[in-house]
Structure 1
Amino acid sequence: MTTPYSTTTPPVPARFLLLGDSHAGCVGRAAQQAGLPFVGGPVGSGRDFLGPFLDDLDDKGDLVFRDAEPRRLVREFLDVFGVTGFAGLGVPLVCTFGLSAHTVATRQNWDIHRDRHGTVPERFLRSGLFADLVRAGVRGALAFYDRTAALGLRVLVPLPPQRVPGMSDASVFFAAQDVIGAELRARGVELVDLRARVTDGSGHQRPVFCQADDTIHGNLAFGRLVVAELLDRGL
């Protein structure tokens, strides 16, 4: 997990709140480098935000994180804006919760669905059962975006780097990402989709946009593209 950070303190106006897992790291670093004022950063690992991670709504109908550390970090971020909860947030939320498709696509989770050739059939990947299984796997994130929609927040979610580690099944990764993306759009989330600009003919992230020392993260060049897209959308 990347250390959370903020590039702004009052009275400098922040342009957005950044929350997420480690995939938010390159976005924050690129925003810092560009001098774009924001508040926030990663508050946990990707798998922390797939299953349920919110407690019941508080008495104001706001979002409450279940675990102490993300709850503390989010509280500090909101304090910078001078608000008591997400309901008072006056800037867009840029978030990466729920997009850890490589975790959803862990190979052993899908072994029961493989054919005699060892592959997960395309017809299954397009089935309602597959979609149901993916939605169940990211139900915590979907509940989060249900609540941000109810609060009327503008939420932008960058698709993660198109990198599939050895532990994951590539066909499941891409199919699951499509299911998750459709669910987020249905909740009014704006997807920041850079796939046409950062992938090769196979749909995988080109090396120039990959963090060199690991198998899943994007690098600063990728973060810069995300930030440029955020600026193009008015942030």
Structure 2
Amino acid sequence: MTTPCSTTTAPARFLLLGDSHAGCVGRAALQADLPFVGGPVGSGRDFLGPFLDLDGADGDDGDLVFRDAETRRLVREFLDALGVTGFAKLGVPLVCTFGLSAHTVATRQNWDIHRDRHGTVPEGFLRSGLFGDLVRESARGALAFYERAAALGLRVLAPLPPQRVPGMSDPAVFFAAQDVLGAELAARGVEIVDLRARVTDGSGRQRPVFCEADDTIHGNLAFGRLVVAELLDRAL
């Protein structure tokens, strides 16, 4: 489900795209009467592997064209609301959560082959070039998206997701993979919105006050408000 577009008459300050983690950001922006367009357009795993083409399916040669028909429809509606024909014409910053679903990358069974006799993924492996290569491969679609966004000259801001590790995921892999992905996005000119120092406890996990109730991965409205405040501090 997408977050509704802003109903204000003021010009949109940003385009919001992402997985479900974009939802609390959209809700907080609406509550703050901060005009924007967009919302979630799929699940986190939809934006890890290849999910876009770069050529002219809708007439914008070299622009960003989503392969999934429903995602393409939603994005087209958002761009229409902004009065632009494609991302190449986007005149506002893009706030995006694609590729940062570290809990999906960290799915336990994916890393069983790398565990030691104690059942843990060794710290040395998590710092290795092989681990980095595996994480980058798992998120190659998202990295291609940000690579192209940079080539188009877009200003992109990526809020790190809530620091929540569900039971299906390995915590050590989660945090290590997130570091790899964050570094890759920053290398592509993405501005990382990192609230970890403000929302986590001593273990690095999200504090309950910033967690969606009865949910294992999402942040709540309070977390979304912090993201929006940080966006405003960055002149959005």
Aligned-partner residue type, residue 99 of structure 1: L
Q: Deviations over 1:126-177 (max 9, x none)?
A: 0000000000000000000001000000000000000000000000000000
- 1:50 equivalent in structure 2: 48
Match of 2:23 among 22, 25, 28: 25
- 1:4 equivalent in structure 2: 3
Matching of residues 43-122 of structure 1 within 5 Å: 43-58=41-56, 60-122=61-123
Q: Shift of the alpha carbon at 1:68?
A: 0.2
Q: Deviations over 1:39-69 (max 9, x none)?
A: 0000000000000000232253110000000
- Whether contact under 8 Å (2:54, 2:61) holds in the other structure is no
Q: Shift of the alpha carbon at 1:81?
A: 1.1
- Whether contact under 8 Å (1:8, 1:14) holds in the other structure is no
- 1:15 equivalent in structure 2: 13
**Match of 1:23, SS?**
helix
Question: How many angstroms apart in 2 are the aligned matches of 1:25 and 1:57?
Answer: 29
The TM-score with structure 1 as length reference comes to 0.97
Question: How many angstroms apart in 1 are the aligned matches of 2:133 and 2:18?
Answer: 24
- Whether contact under 8 Å (1:54, 1:66) holds in the other structure is yes
Gaps of 5+ in 2: none
Question: How many angstroms apart in 1 are the aligned matches of 2:120 and 2:61?
Answer: 48
- Whether contact under 8 Å (1:8, 1:39) holds in the other structure is no
- Whether contact under 8 Å (2:106, 2:177) holds in the other structure is yes
- 1:180 equivalent in structure 2: 181
Question: How many angstroms apart in 2 are the aligned matches of 1:219 and 1:178?
Answer: 23
**Match of 2:116, SS?**
coil
The TM-score with structure 2 as length reference comes to 0.97
Q: Deviations over 1:181-216 (max 9, x none)?
A: 000000000000000000000000000000012100
- 2:168 equivalent in structure 1: 167
Q: Deviations over 1:62-119 (max 9, x none)?
A: 1000000010000000001111000100000000000000000000000000000000
- 2:34 equivalent in structure 1: 36
Question: How many angstroms apart in 1 are the aligned matches of 2:2 and 2:54?
Answer: 27
Gaps of 5+ in 1: none
- 2:150 equivalent in structure 1: 149
- 2:223 equivalent in structure 1: 222
Question: How many angstroms apart in 1 are the aligned matches of 2:147 and 2:54?
Answer: 13
**Match of 2:91, SS?**
coil
The alignment of Structure 1 onto Structure 2 pairs a total of residues equal to 233
Runs of 4+ in 1 over 2 A off after TM superposition: 56-60
- Whether contact under 8 Å (1:210, 1:219) holds in the other structure is yes
Question: How many angstroms apart in 2 are the aligned matches of 1:186 and 1:139?
Answer: 14
Matching of residues 196-211 of structure 1 within 5 Å: 196-211=197-212
- Whether contact under 8 Å (2:2, 2:38) holds in the other structure is no
Question: How many angstroms apart in 1 are the aligned matches of 2:54 and 2:95?
Answer: 23
Question: How many angstroms apart in 2 are the aligned matches of 1:8 and 1:73?
Answer: 17
Question: How many angstroms apart in 1 are the aligned matches of 2:102 and 2:94?
Answer: 21
Question: How many angstroms apart in 2 are the aligned matches of 1:106 and 1:34?
Answer: 35
- Whether contact under 8 Å (1:192, 1:226) holds in the other structure is yes
**Match of 2:73, SS?**
helix
Aligned-partner residue type, residue 114 of structure 2: H
Q: Equivalent pairs: percent with the same residue?
A: 86
Q: Shift of the alpha carbon at 1:230?
A: 0.1
Question: How many angstroms apart in 1 are the aligned matches of 2:161 and 2:52?
Answer: 22
Question: How many angstroms apart in 2 are the aligned matches of 1:203 and 1:175?
Answer: 12
